[in-house]
Structure 1
Amino acid sequence: MTTDRSRRDLLKSAMFAAAMPIAGVAFAADEPKDLLKPSNPTAGPDRFKGLKVGVASYTFRKVTLEQTIKAIQRVGLHYVSIKDFHLPMKSTAEERKAVAKAFVDAGIMPLSCGNVKLTTDEAASRNAFEYVRDTGAKVMVCAPDPAALPMLEKLVKEFDIKLAIHNHGPEDKIFPSPYEVQKAVEKLDPRIGYCIDVGHTARAGHDPAKAMRDLKDRLYDVHFKDVADLKGKSAKSEIELGRGELNIKSMTQALIEIGFVGHVGFEHEKDPIDPLPGLAESVGYLKGVIAAM
């Protein structure tokens, strides 16, 4: 009799096999022109049941903006969270709009920016809000100093931009899980909420699917991944979907059930020099999980 694990391994192998031809020519100089055409987020079947599945551009932190755009197109995703590796925080409004336009012209919609470190420096925080505004995104994924929250609340009201506070697991002494974020923001403007990093949440001892349901009212962004070792450290434990310890199906079901409308961003930290093969495998695996639901 086929076990659950063998079925999972079979599905994983099939998805990996399907992904590899896409990944193998990721950054070739002579890429076929038809693969680089702008794509339409509404074209074709909805493989993600309404979820806005995209990529946290931190995944491509060691490659250029142009390569990042082409890679996201290759895996057929249409949303992005912009990290400052591809758009410096000290950029001008014109530069920010140009980068956002480059994504949009390629059929990729910026839904958020970050992760952004926010301190009590109000001028720097204001610049961060202007940065997000200039890209057209509506959410800032951030790691704030708790002492800055009253000031940040004023900026949230001024700019009408949501803050999605990112939890960073057991190493983070302030916000290891989204539940610590909840305690810090529950009396603040409801536009201040959570970016649940599912890997860090699990490593902090919480079920990511339960956290999504518990905190759905202020859930504005998700960093989606798998981890090989729940006791491992941060990015060293991140791995392709289906190879690790997280229950991908339960997390996906939770997002669909709560009607999550924010960015579900693949954050593939494992291979910064050549992230596309691992990302492609994860995208294929998630499609397989959803198709079997």
Structure 2
Amino acid sequence: MPLNAATSRRGFLASAAAAAGGLLLSGRPAFAAPDPYGGFKVGLQSYTLRAFDAPTALAHTKMLGIKYWESFPKHVPLSTLPASVNESKKLLAGSDVTLLSYGVVRFSNDETKAREIFDFAKAMGIVSLSADPDPDRQTFDLLDKLVAEYDVAIAIHNHGPGHRYDKADDVLKWLTNRHEKIGACVDTGHYLRSNENPVEVIQKFGPRVHGVHLKDVRTVKSPEEQEKIAPTLTKNRQGMLAKENKLFTVLGEGELDIVGVLQALKKLNYQNCVALEYEESEKNPLADVELCLAAVREAVKKV
């Protein structure tokens, strides 16, 4: 959405809010505004706001009009100590943010460590853990037991080219004959980096989609454009551009079929967090995040 369109939209919403307030004062009924996200639990992967402490990140989230989080450990410490759990719950409740998911967390065949993570998830009311489990039978046997015991899902997170869960099939092969609560966190940006279509990936996983990280990627094929862009990037992004000809970008400005992703999730009656994760502009991401959210709202209209 162009900036002038976004400004107009904000103006419209401000006028609508004022009108609703007037109706309340006049004693006439005010009707609740429709959900701009069409019933999807659109939230943030709090890594998007990694440059900020938890109270500031939550204040920014509230300002953005978002009510759901998938947190990473900086913002909600992975601890089963009652004082830590209560402090995190208090912070979230004070910002009207519901913590649905958490991660990315590692799992091995160490049951003591795994139980600590599941105990934390249960204490916090988390329904899904975005995870990077060791790809071995012992680890998955343990997860089979724990997801059933705790009623908390495992969502295996892909992390792009070179990662052990690069392609959808790298995840799928570990799901055969496993508990239904062991599934996938579909990171759309990383699947685009791996030259896989996120819509088709969601369809492959079906009801085993237990998490979504919504981000966009664009391909930069022109050597001239690459040469122009490279000096503005971090070393990591320069490496990504050189190896893959790809860069993360604002939702709607890359190759992600946002409408297709939402349609595929709707067919699954997906109820967990659709977590926007924006990895760029680390110290000042809010303007770009607003544009990303505007792109989601526009896509919802077409679902």
Query: Considering the TM-score relative to the shorter chain, is it more than 0.5?
Result: yes
Tell me which amino acid in the other structure corresponds to 1:113.
Answer: Y
Partner deviation per Cα, 1:34-91 (whole Å, 9 max, x = no partner) = xxxxxxxxx6311112111001111111211111111111111111111101122246
Tell me which amino acid in the other structure corresponds to 2:260.
Answer: S
Partner of 2:83: 94
Match of 1:80 among 44, 51, 69: 69
CA contact (8 A) 2:79 2:85 kept: no
Distance 1:189 1:245 in 2: 33
Determine if the alignment matches structure 1 residue 55 to structure 2 residue 44.
yes
CA contact (8 A) 1:12 1:285 kept: no
Determine if the alignment matches structure 1 residue 285 to structure 2 residue 295.
yes
Partner of 1:145: 134
Larger Rg: 2
Partner of 1:67: 56
Instruction: Flag the structure with more relative contact order, 1 or 2, with Cα contacts below 8 A and sequence separation at least 6.
Output: 1
CA contact (8 A) 1:82 1:113 kept: yes
Identity of aligned residues (%): 28
SS at match of 1:251: helix
Calculate the TM-score normalised by the size of structure 1: 0.81
Determine if the alignment matches structure 1 residue 203 to structure 2 residue 211.
no
SS at match of 2:162: coil
Partner of 2:22: none
Match of 2:111 among 122, 132, 137: 122
CA contact (8 A) 2:71 2:102 kept: yes
Partner of 1:38: none
| CA-CA distance at 1:17 after TM superposition | 4.2
Partner deviation per Cα, 1:225-281 (whole Å, 9 max, x = no partner) = 1112387479x8222111112222221222223321111000011122122111111
- Mark the CA change 1:18 to 1:72 in structure 2 (over 3 Å): closer, same or farther: farther
Tell me which amino acid in the other structure corresponds to 2:36.
Answer: R
- Mark the CA change 1:149 to 1:195 in structure 2 (over 3 Å): closer, same or farther: same
Distance 1:15 1:54 in 2: 22
- Mark the CA change 1:238 to 1:80 in structure 2 (over 3 Å): closer, same or farther: same
Distance 1:142 1:19 in 2: 37
Distance 2:5 2:213 in 1: 21
Partner of 2:155: 164
Runs (5+) with no aligned partner, structure 2: 12-31, 221-239
CA contact (8 A) 2:207 2:268 kept: no
CA contact (8 A) 2:80 2:123 kept: no
Partner of 1:185: 175
SS at match of 1:188: coil
SS at match of 2:148: helix
- Mark the CA change 1:19 to 1:267 in structure 2 (over 3 Å): closer, same or farther: farther
Aligned residue runs from structure 1 range 129-278, under 5 A = 129-147=118-136, 148-172=139-163, 174-229=164-219, 232=241, 237-278=247-288
Partner deviation per Cα, 1:133-190 (whole Å, 9 max, x = no partner) = 1111111111110121111222222212110111111121x21123321111221111
Determine if the alignment matches structure 1 residue 112 to structure 2 residue 101.
yes
CA contact (8 A) 2:80 2:119 kept: no
CA contact (8 A) 2:45 2:213 kept: yes
Tell me which amino acid in the other structure corresponds to 1:162.
Answer: A
Query: Which ranges of 4 or more aligned residues in structure 1 deviate by more than 3 Å?
Result: 11-21, 230-234
Calculate the TM-score normalised by the size of structure 2: 0.79
Count of residue correspondences: 260
Runs (5+) with no aligned partner, structure 1: 1-10, 22-42
